[in-house]
Structure 1
Amino acid sequence: MSQSPRHPQSSGSEEQFTNTSTPTTIGILGMGAIGTLMAWHWRDLLTSQRLYALKPQADVITRQFSQLDGSVDVIELPIWSPHNDPLCPELDWLVVTTKATHTLAALRPWSACLSTVKRILLLQNGMGQQQQVEQWLAQQQLSCEVWLGISTEGAFRPKPQQVVYAGAGSTWIGPASGNSIPPESLPGQLQLVTDIHQRQREKLAINAVINPLTGQLRCRNGELVTNMEYRQQLIQLAQEVQTLYDRMGWTLAMPLVERSQQVAEATGHNRSSTLQDILAGRPTELAYICGYLLAVARAEKLPMPLTEHLFQALN
């Protein structure tokens, strides 16, 4: 049975747009695991030619997409490339799903076409890249809005042309600044929240515990709670990150020691993105996770020795 995009119930801080009278045109920059997952959610737009991948060359991107029930879809996504079409497409959303470390490098080749883009959505791990993008856009005198996204969906790419849907979840988005006009409609699977920065900090705290530890220990998430030695390291690191959050007045829905163990157990069979990067020989995103928190801590003159040690060992 094919899985259809889910729209979880909204809470008081969430707004959902179901108005589909205004056609939405989306470009995806970064067709890795999450980019492919979002393309699968938005595949209905393919029939109206309103979904593209941005890539310097090629005519189409093909991915085998393994769904939650084990069935396989083949996704063929048309490419927009200046080599194929000199006219820049008008996009309601340019969704950037590259690694945080590659954000600006991915955007720069498309600077001549960003004047026809209404919104850039950074759907990535970590924090700090938003400021880099906003500064670069100002330098280029580009006025497209910057939006931020957080997803609890799981996907991984075992082979270059294959993506596996590992776990259903939610994807929340919101404007980076409070000056953005709410869109008339949102692409399916996205929920608008009033304070996306709070959602970012929640996920950042969990990632700052699970990602560096699994990278250092070369273990799956669940081993952080089933192995007593690893669990003690998780508790100590979570307490250190919690101290910074308390200092900054950044509230969390529950104590980080409890929440990080809860997430590690719920995603027990998963490999964190940091571990996947290390095993594949790729640069990690820890500069935008641990590195971001360390920069905040230094400004507060708050030592974070455990985070510093893990960051230096893995970065």
Structure 2
Amino acid sequence: MAVVGPGALGRVFAARLAAVVPTALVARSRERAAELGEGFELVHPSGRSERVRVPVFGPEEAPPARWAVVLVKGPDTEAAARVAGGLAREGVLSLQNGWVRERLRAAAGEGRLVDQGATTAAAMREAGRTVWVAAGETWLPPAFAALAERLTEAGLPAAATPEVAARRLEKLAVNLVVNPLTAVLDVPNGGLLEPELWPTVRDLVLEMHPVLAARGPLPDPETLLGRIRRVLAATAANTSSMRADVRAGRPTEIEEITGVLLAWGRAGGRALPRHEALYRMVRALKQVHRGEPLEE
């Protein structure tokens, strides 16, 4: 097994999988692999903490694997997919945020299964530790049934099901609201539940729903709003990944999330002014935090 991407969630998946099957964690470079080779502190959802060591490799040194799970940020998709495609004999599965299926398949190459699943597993890095927030649930395409069994055995509940198409779109819908809005407003997830902000959440859902529904199965707007409300309540104190990236001046996943929606809207002849405004603001904030001049 190979896990490509040693971020917080990648570390959790690698640590759990290593307990049931030989697993390699693949970093972007040999130097980064050496840094991670000393291990890391993993805090479980129960609060229990342990020191974990998983074999970590640079992309050139990583051993072949039956499966490769891609857990990198959206901008790194192509590079990670090329590495994963070179390692995996049977299949490459992305569990990334946003929508990267087409880019993943183009970069990973032929001769193996390549697709994107969806997961509600959550983790974050905090004060030098990797905090496993929730095991969540993971949905894989039916052809990845053997990988789903391994994930479940490792304590990461997973199912290989045709419902993965709906789960992918639903996760994208949640990300389309939570990530850019918390980044622009600089609030934790629970801040979006405030009475003054909830109408904005509703407006974003109503605007994007026809575009997403044209791409596959999706709950009706009211049901989707209810699910977003539950996600926000369950993660109220959390900082979204996009908010954290903007604050740190790192590249965001705005292209893989809102950029994809806007492209779909253009293809269908539908304007998305609220999402367009968020897209522009996130891009501007990234430049401000980096100290770069704003684009004209």
Short-chain TM bin = 0.7 to 0.9
Distance 1:81-1:102 versus aligned 2 partners, 3 A rule: closer
Larger radius of gyration: 1
Q: Give unmatched runs, 5+ long, in structure 2.
A: 284-296
| TM-score normalised by length of structure 2 | 0.83
Where do 1:1-315 residues align within 5 Å? 26-45=1-20, 50-55=22-27, 56-57=29-30, 58=33, 60-81=37-58, 89-108=63-82, 113-114=86-87, 117-127=89-99, 129-138=100-109, 142-159=110-127, 161-174=128-141, 180=143, 182-183=145-146, 185-187=149-151, 188=153, 189=156, 190-226=158-194, 228-248=195-215, 250-252=217-219, 255-315=223-283
SS in structure 1 at match of 2:54: strand
- Give the direction of change, closer, same or farther, for the CA distance of 1:109–1:41 in structure 2 (3 Å limit): closer
> Does the 8 Å contact 1:137/1:143 carry over to 2?
no
- Residue identity opposite 2:47 in structure 1: G
The alpha-carbon deviation at position 191 of structure 1 amounts to: 1.9
**Following the alignment from structure 2 to structure 1, what is the Cα–Cα distance between the partners of residues 126 and 229?**
26
CA distance in 2, matches of 1:203, 1:249: 13
SS of 1:103's partner is helix
Report the TM-score when normalising by structure 1.
0.78
What does the per-residue CA deviation read over 1:261-297, in whole Å, with 9 as the maximum and x for residues that have no partner? 2321222111111111112221111111111111111
Separation in 1, partners of 2:135, 2:229: 19
1:199 Cα deviation (Å)?
0.7
Structure 2 letter corresponding to 1:243: P
Q: Which amino acid in 1 is paired with 2:183?
A: G
The secondary structure found in structure 2 opposite 1:211 is: helix
Relative to structure 1, the CA distance from residue 191 to residue 242 in structure 2 (aligned partners, 3 Å threshold; closer, same or farther) is: same
Does the CA contact (< 8 Å) of 2:68 and 2:84 recur in 1? no
1:74–1:297 CA distance, 2 compared to 1 (3 A)? same
Q: What is the percent sequence identity of the aligned residues?
A: 29
Q: In 2, Cα distance between the equivalents of 1:203 and 1:236?
A: 18
Partner Cα distance (1:157, 1:214) in 2:
18
Aligned residues: 272
User: Relative to structure 1, is the Cα distance of residues 167 and 79 closer, same or farther in structure 2, using a 3 angstrom cutoff?
Assistant: closer
- Give secondary structure in 1 for the equivalent of 2:52: strand
- Residue by residue, what CA displacement relative to the aligned partner does 1:166-201 show, whole Å, maximum 9, x if unpaired? 2331112116xxxx4753853332321223221100
Is the deviation greater in 244-253 or in 200-209? Answer: 244-253
Secondary structure at the aligned position of 2:197 is classed as: helix
Distance 1:38 1:135, change over 3 A: same
8 Å contact from structure 2 (residues 83, 108) kept in 1: no
What are structure 1's unaligned runs of at least 5 residues? 1-25
Aligned-pair CA distance for 1:90: 3.1
The amino acid across from 2:8 in the alignment is A
- Shift of residue 221 of structure 1? 1.0
Q: AA paired with 2:17?
A: W
The one-letter amino acid of 1:44's match is A
Distance 1:92 1:166 in 2: 28
Instruction: Mark the CA change 1:249 to 1:40 in structure 2 (over 3 Å): closer, same or farther.
Output: closer
- What CA distance in whole angstroms lies between the structure 2 residues aligned with 1:165 and 1:64? 10
* Partners of 1:209 and 1:234 within 8 A in 2: yes
Cα distance change, pair 89–203 in 1 and its aligned pair in 2 (3 A): same
CA contact (8 A) 1:242 1:255 kept: no
Q: Residues of 2 paired with 1:258 and 1:182: CA distance?
A: 30
